[in-house]
A and B are shown apart, each in its own frame.
Chain A
Amino acid sequence: MEYIPNTANDQKEMLNTIGVSSVEELFSNIPPDLRLKRDLNIPDELSEFELLKYVSTLGGMNAHTGEYVPFLGGGAYDHFIPSVVPHIVSRSEFYTAYTPYQAEMSQGVLQTIYEYQTMICELTGMEVSNASMYDGASAMAEAALMAARITKRDEIVISSAINPRYRKVLNTYLFGIKLPVKTIEWNNGITDIERLSRAISDKTAVVVIQYPNFFGCVEDIKTIIELAHRSGALAVIVTDPIALGLLKSPGELGADIVVGEGQPLGIPLNYGGPYLGFFATKMEQVRKMPGRIVGATVDAEGKSGYCLTFQTREQHIKRERATSNICTNEALVALTATVYMAAMGKQGLRDVANLCVQKTAYAKQRIGELKGYSIPFTSPVFKEFVVKTPVSPKKIQEKLISEKILGGLDLGAYYPELENHLLFCVTEKRTREEIDRLIAVLRK
């Protein structure tokens, strides 16, 4: 076995040193009646060549973005990944390291996380970011919990225009501690402000809004944040980092906690994970924040360096009184996003966002002109939009698949009131020719 260096001779020498006659003797503390008395029912080992061939066969059974043209979003996006990104992330000094508890040997990871925190703060307009959460959904759930801790209130008010998968994860996170959730209906593709305003009270811990929301529509978060604050509630904004290349940051508009899915920042689709939950807040709340945080400091000789900090919030110190149970997070994915943001830089992120919004506008207008199709919402959109279809979404999807096009997403599965509606997504990668092909298939 190429991953186990011990030879029979090595084993013999080691057993001699230990003073036992067999490896089996080392397991003598396990009661014999508990032992597995047969081999595991797992197939025999494969050679590397056979294995790669087999995995490649599995891969061949899947559609992927090299083969199909995706107009599919809904929480996972086909953005362009510059070559520098996978190149850096595949350096094993980064990917074979553990959490940087031993700072002196982990300055590389620590500094990249410090740079990541800085970039997330810049993007979200917030003062402090943690080192990452599992994904956008769990980041949103943790943000709601944090808001409840800060306000010492328990009611969570959330827009129904938030990704339904995120809301499901929130409900699951709340299953044990039973915080009540009020869900606010949408109107014209955005949160119904009238209803929201009526729902917020002095019991409300937090108002959670997505910007742009699940339908791609840009919410008026300025007004919503003000509504929340008027009742002493916090505002959690779930956002798309690419959109923040063009949209004002939630921080600038007064948000208390900003979270989101970092996958658009150079992370492959990976059939849903690993992704990246980003999480940022105000400095005054840093001790209430979940997750790891890296800080700059100096060493014994006054030289600058980085270390994990505010660890007294965390489970390994505080145990049941920790701000979260999170331990392992998504450090390598955060590094991926850092390299992406550094590569795109000041202008690039704005350029990507502009390509998305322009191409989306083009596709939306062209589809809206098609006979039988309509655009039900007039609210402005970023890179996704809803289309009302003349026939069942399933039929349309099948037609698209036969032309090697993926999408859109059938909204009826998430919103019964949106039967015969599809959600399309257009990123900077979609060409006019591809959009025109999509239109041509829809027209058929």
Chain B
Amino acid sequence: MSEQLIFKKGAPGRKAYSLPALDVPEVELQGLLPKELIKDTPLNLPEVSEIELIRHFTNLSRLNYGVDLGFYPLGSCTMKYNPKVNEEAAKTPGLMNAHPLQPEQLSQGALRMMYELEGFLKEIGGVDRVSLQPVAGAHGELTGLLVIRAYHEAHGNPRHKVIIPDSAHGTNPASAALVGYEAVVIKSSKEGLVDVEELKKVLDTETAAVMLTNPNTLGLFEKDIAEISRLAHDAGAFMYMDGANLNALLGIVRPGDMGFDVVHFNLHKTFSTPHGGGGPGAGPIGVSEKLTPFIPVPTVEKDGDRYYLDYNRPKSVGSVHAFYGNFGVLVRAYTYIKKMGAKGLREVSENAVLNANYIKKRLQDYYYIPNNVPCMHECVFSAKYQKAKGVHSWDIAKRLQDYGFHPPTVNFPLIVEEAIMIEPTETEPKETLDSFCDAMIAIAKEVETNPEIVKNAPHTTVVRRLDEALAVKKPNLRWKK
């Protein structure tokens, strides 16, 4: 099964659209646009009929795997079920077809939704204010670090470094660099946690922020977090929390209560908005009171019964999006929080953590666990045993596809050799977890008896392993006639 490129389909003169006839007097184009700028070659876009178009993209969708088709335990990605009511809510005409520059008095529903969502996130994060503007996790990191920089600059010294543990997501150091900070990486302890002594060695008055993920990328709670926060604050640095793993903490412990000054919320992870094959997401940031004056404009404010956009915030760092962020994603997350309620949100984290520990227990006799303590919402194994047979975590990921599962995250975090990072989320029934574990165990046995079948996997997918080196050596990044 494969699908030809759309450019190879159709025939000259075919079309999949209709437009109304021109109902104003037609003027020669040369009279309207500069002659030398009028396009004189046709656009090389497809010419297909509607049925060809629909079959093309429908067939392509069948070459793709999503949460609606099956288990998707990608660690640090929180591939939970995306409730359909979210999608329906986002299609509400007054939300989907509202123009961002229409007057405030005609946008009260949208502004109220944003105001209330900010309220929910403030409560979940234990923070003073939330900016809904960043549209992805990394965009939230950029924004949060800009806010921190704005604070330091306003206090006379921007400082020059951000301390990041070696287990961090790659976006953390990349975001620090984009804000003009040096990323100083500290080695994790044997337990896979922040090594407080290592931190002390580099933490000083030139430190702008300490950037952590909690639970960290090994799925472990940073138990020394209160002390780490105290040390950072004593040095005048801020605590930044990468909220990618917030699904473990809803109603259990709040970032603000742990001493974090900034946290970004990945609404496309914890708050059930779909990942869309790589976006759109949303990465609102919550901040502590000290940082509130510096968050992006506009904010949504309320005056009596009236909601409005406030651009008049002189200390604000600016804007990171042309408008107010990914509003359509905010609608979905808002719908989700209203649907779950406080009790439901807590059950999310309890069951996410339960499911991860269950998988950890079921697989621990077959795969090496670098840190065998109770995990939070995800568990990290190493394919160390399998490596001895010449099989890598990447091979196991590929073999899982033959069993009908999307693989977990592999080769991350970088500090675990041959990492396999499994995040089941709370939305999976026990039977699914069991059949996934059965598949993982079967693969571990295959490694013993027939490693070649694992090394050459996948065998049953629409394509076999792709030659990624060739894709770089002979770049083919667009179709040409």
Contact = CB atoms under 8 A, between A and B. Distances in A.
Given A88-B61, A98-B275, A169-B319, 13 more contacts: A1-B344, A6-B429, A6-B430, A34-B253, A40-B251, A58-B94, A134-B321, A172-B318, A272-B325, A331-B277, A345-B10, A346-B42, A401-B106
B202 interface: no
Interface stretch (A150-158, A202-210, A352-360, A368-376): A352-360
A177 B46 contact: no
Contacts of A431: 20, 23
Interface stretch (A181-189, A191-199, A289-297): A289-297
The interface size bin for chain B is: 35 or more
A307 to B, nearest CB: 5
B430 A357 contact: no
A152 to B, nearest CB: 17
B171 A42 contact: no
Contacts of B196: none
Interface in B98-132: 98-103, 106-110, 112-113, 120, 123-124, 126
Contact of A247 (B15, B37, B177, B257): B37
Nearest to B266: A328
A196 to B, nearest CB: 18
A165 interface: yes
A432 B23 contact: yes
Contacts of B388: none
A270 B468 CA distance: 37
Contacts of B445: none
A132 B34 CA distance: 30
B173 A319 contact: yes
A302 to B, nearest CB: 9
Interface string B46-63: 111010011011101111
B358 to A, nearest CB: 4
Contact of A176 (B3, B145, B373): B145
Interface string A39-78: 1111111101001101111111111111110101011101
A361 B109 contact: no
Interface stretch (B232-240, B284-292, B335-343): B335-343
Contact of A296 (B46, B112, B476): B476
Contacts of A128: 477-478
A17 B355 CA distance: 11
Contacts of A56: 92, 94
Given A72-B102, A172-B317, A355-B22, A87 B220 contact: no
Given A60-B94, A103-B463, A271 B323 contact: yes
Interface string A78-94: 10101010011011111
A378 interface: no
12 contacts: A5-B429, A18-B358, A88-B61, A117-B477, A135-B322, A176-B146, A176-B149, A299-B464, A327-B170, A342-B16, A342-B56, A406-B99
Contacts of B204: none
B100 A341 contact: no
Contacts of A96: 66-69, 82, 274-275
Contacts of B109: 57-62
Contacts of B303: none
B33 A357 contact: yes
A272 to B, nearest CB: 3
Contact of B37 (A48, A68, A218, A306): A218
A108 B63 contact: yes
Interface string B1-43: 0110111001000111101101111110100111011111011
Nearest to B257: A34
A131 interface: yes
A346 B44 contact: yes
A177 B63 CA distance: 42
B354 A309 contact: no
Interface residues of A, number: 204
A270 B183 contact: no
B112 A31 contact: no
B16 A271 contact: no
Interface string A239-257: 0000011111100010000
Identify the interface centre among A55, A119, A222, A331: most chain B CB within 10 Å of its CB: A55
Contacts of A54: 338
A45 B68 CA distance: 24
A247 B32 CA distance: 11
B177 A320 contact: yes
Contact of B478 (A93, A121, A299): A121
A344 B17 contact: yes
Contacts of B340: 1, 3, 45
A115 interface: yes
B465 interface: yes
A349 B43 CA distance: 8
Given A94-B66, A121-B478, A64 B97 contact: yes
A17 B358 contact: yes
Given A82-B16, A346-B47, A171 B318 contact: yes
A7 B170 CA distance: 37
Given A169-B322, A176-B179, A320-B177, A247 B81 contact: no
B317 A99 contact: no
A436 B47 CA distance: 35
B66 A176 contact: no
A171 B150 CA distance: 13
A58 B112 contact: yes
Contacts of A244: 39, 43
B356 to A, nearest CB: 9
A61 B57 CA distance: 36
A264 interface: no
A441 B309 CA distance: 28
Interface string B340-374: 11111111101101110110111000000000011
Contacts of B456: 300
A339 interface: yes
Contact of A75 (B5, B98, B322, B339): B322
A432 B323 contact: no
A329 interface: yes
